Structure 1
Amino acid sequence: MQALAYNTQLFFVALIFLLVSLLISTFKILREYERGVIFMLGRFYRVKGPGLIIVIPLVQQMVRVDLRTVVMDVPTQDVISRDNVSVQVNAVIYFRVIDAQKAIINVEDFLQATSQLAQTTLRSVLGQHELDEMLANRDMLNTDIQSILDSRTDGWGIKVSNVEIKHVDLNETMVRAIARQAEAERIRRAKVIHASGEMEASAKLVEAAQNLKKSPNAILLRYLQTLTEIAGEKNSTILFPLPMDLLKGVLNRVSDQEETPAKKTED
């Protein structure tokens, strides 16, 4: 009798423990950013949450889905641009689940699927552009990749909000070539600017010469001003041009004096 009573007590304890375990497993708590996809006997039933929900043990199963934005690094990809330049590019994508039912039912692992799709899309889009466009128009490329990913993951219940290309790595040969190209471009701009300055200066000099031509004394004043500027530098030797107009009178007088004795001798 004692053994029977002991077994009966043990049975009731085990039964109570089982009932408590089932009761505990029946109630689930989902956070604000979580949703529970409920399957009843293997078929989709409904999406529940957040808060306290009831899941019938052995009849219903729940799969948790996080609705927060996921930041995913896209591994470095070897890309050949349209102008046949090999580069290594990596990026980061921001996405979140907006439909928990599609994210669980329509794809096996939406995180892995999104990662693989991002890698292939990155190579495909960048391969259609030249190297200069990759370096200068990153915003346009980010928008193109984001729109393609967003449209292809719509059936998975995923919204791709942003894509950012982080690094475009070039080999040393290409870096040197780009540096030479940039240097040549800067030299070209410097020559163009210098030529433009010479053209503007020549136009001003022509205008100044025309003004000086109207007043002969102005040329003499400008000449004296130049001498004053040179003398102010305290140079031991001063070289300055001598206008031939100032020497015409002296040369004419010398030639007249040479001609006068010659005429006297003939007489």
Structure 2
Amino acid sequence: MTATTAGAPLVRVRGLSAEYLTRLGPVTALHDVDMSLEPGDLLGVVGESGSGKSTLSAALGRMLPGSCHITSGSVEVGGVDLAGLDRAALRALRRDVLGFIPQDPIGSLDPTLRIGRQLRLALRPLGRPGDRAALVTLLDGVQIREPERVLRLYPHEISGGMAQRVAIALAMAREPRVLIADEPTAALDAQVREDVLGLMVRLITSSGAALVWVSHDLRAVRRWCTRVMVMRKGEVVEEGPTEDVFGRPEHPYTRQLLKAIEMAPAAEERENA
């Protein structure tokens, strides 16, 4: 088990700045970002494409691409500064503390292995039971019907919604203290998306962990998240309890985002008229 500092926040980001190196020169990805995450927090990170949301989520696991590097600041998980970890310690922290749910669940699964085999391989390093009964229980926990049948299937034989449930099962099987989900339901239809989000939040809440959810869907963030962070051009422009930020936005950019979703239903009605 990875050592962490007692009493420290689950995640603390201080003055984090990062930039991408491009052919045209450096491009700012994050600028002086501060963030703190406690057990039970359900944090939604919102903003337009290019606002820095995904870069921040990748930095929380020291998973930035080679073209992006941190220029200042720090990221601590459980009181441990990620910059000071060697590869073995970083792998252990990712395994023991952090969980990740990808945007593309099908793409994250091995197309050559059946679902049951992939779950078994994921559980083995954790010392968790990998027998069929344990795998069925795992899929039951994410509300997959006919789990025995699903265990025998390949990824291309299941739907996007089911693949996302499998991805959640894989992440939650490790009992992470922090779950990082980057647009985990973007490719799903409305009803499946609602079911998956509800499941994810219930699992996090019941385990006492914390969630960092990167999303464009402000309505869903307002419904499911207890806190929200609004990002624009790599900076945090507003942060606080969800109802405070959405109910009484202080920054013009937050008001602009909220106005856009208020106008969306009217546009939909005109299209359906």
TM-score relative to the length of structure 1: 0.21
Higher relative contact order (CA 8 A, sep 6+): 2
Structure number with larger C-alpha Rg: 1
